[in-house]
């Protein structure tokens, strides 16, 4: 269901106020800007949340999709959100995840901004919407988070913590490239991968295939889909 940004933000704020007023102890631990932070966990109707077009689980698929321009032009609109939902439902382990959620319910909260944008848990929320649930649990980031913070959180969750479904090979490369393009250093990227020795050569060796992939894609029109390189 499409809501105006102000409506969605006000809804999140109301639930956060209720969380505080009731002395709710539900929190989610997260490393944010190098510090351990405990975020409030609230319940929201999943159809009110925004699937994230910058979610790197879909980076390759979206780059190759016919609706790419429309999604970029109006990412919060119903059509773009439906496109993202379809792409998530086509990921490799989506059916298994949906069955797991059907059997065991939601075990870990998603992660959203104050505007209701999903930073983590996009695939889980899409599956829960398919299952027809009335609410999902989401941890809420501080109002001061920046796009760089969001990418940093995604990097931490994907590369150093357990997630429900691994990124594809090309999506992981594109996420790493995004981290570097956003100003992250190769040294820091290597540390996120858990490397302690020979970090710079490893990062350069790891990223080199993406340059080859982009070169090969440029040789054809339309470009060869990223999925062919996975």
Tokens representing 108 are 């870990």
Q: What is the pLDDT of residue 67?
A: 93
Sequence length of the chain is: 230
Q: What is the pLDDT along the chain (230 residues), one digit of tens a residue?
A: 567 889 999 999 999 999 999 888 889 999 888 888 999 999 999 999 999 999 888 888 888 999 999 999 999 999 999 999 999 999 888 999 999 999 889 988 999 999 999 999 999 999 999 999 999 999 999 999 988 888 888 877 776 544 445 678 888 888 888 888 888 888 888 887 778 888 888 888 888 999 999 889 888 888 888 888 88
Beta partners for 116? none
Q: What are phi and psi of 153, to 5 degrees?
A: -65, -45
Tokens representing 26 are 């539900």
Q: What is the distance, to the nearest Å, from the Cα of residue 81 to the centroid of all Cα atoms in its chain?
A: 14
Helix 122-130 / helix 78-89 crossing angle, nearest 10 deg: 90
CB 130 within 8 A of CB 100: no
DSSP-derived secondary structure letter, 163? -
Q: What is the pLDDT of residue 162?
A: 41
Q: What is the pLDDT of residue 133?
A: 95
Helix 122-130 / helix 94-104 crossing angle, nearest 10 deg: 70
CA distances for 105 relative to 42, 71, 73, 78, 161, angstroms: 16, 30, 35, 26, 21
Q: What is the pLDDT of residue 160?
A: 53
- In what helix (H) or strand (E) does residue 39 lie, and over which residues does it extend? strand 35-44
Tokens representing 159 are 């590369």
Cα separation of 38 and 215, whole Å? Answer: 43
Q: What is the pLDDT of residue 175?
A: 83
């Amino acid at each position: 269901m499409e809501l105006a940004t102000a409506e969605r933000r006000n809804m999140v704020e109301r639930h956060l106020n209720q969380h505080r007023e009731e002395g709710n102890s539900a929190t989610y631990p997260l490393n944010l800007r190098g510090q351990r932070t405990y975020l409030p966990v609230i319940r929201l109707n999943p159809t009110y949340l925004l699937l994230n077009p910058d979610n790197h689980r879909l980076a390759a698929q979206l780059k190759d999709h016919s609706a790419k321009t429309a999604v970029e032009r109006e990412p919060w609109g119903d059509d773009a959100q439906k496109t993202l939902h379809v792409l998530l439902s086509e990921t490799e382990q989506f059916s298994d995840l949906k069955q797991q959620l059907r059997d065991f319910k939601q075990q870990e909260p998603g992660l959203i901004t104050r505007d209701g944008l999903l930073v983590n848990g996009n695939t889980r929320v899409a599956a829960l919407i398919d299952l027809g649930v009335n609410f999902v649990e989401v941890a809420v980031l501080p109002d001061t988070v920046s796009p760089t913070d969001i990418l940093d959180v995604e990097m931490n969750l994907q590369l150093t913590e357990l997630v429900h479904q691994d990124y594809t090979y090309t999506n992981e490369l594109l996420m790493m490239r995004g981290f570097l393009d956003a100003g992250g250093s190769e040294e820091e990227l290597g540390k996120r991968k858990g490397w302690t020795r020979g970090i710079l050569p490893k990062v350069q060796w790891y990223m080199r295939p993406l340059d080859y992939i982009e070169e090969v894609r440029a040789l054809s029109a339309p470009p060869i889909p990223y999925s062919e390189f996975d």
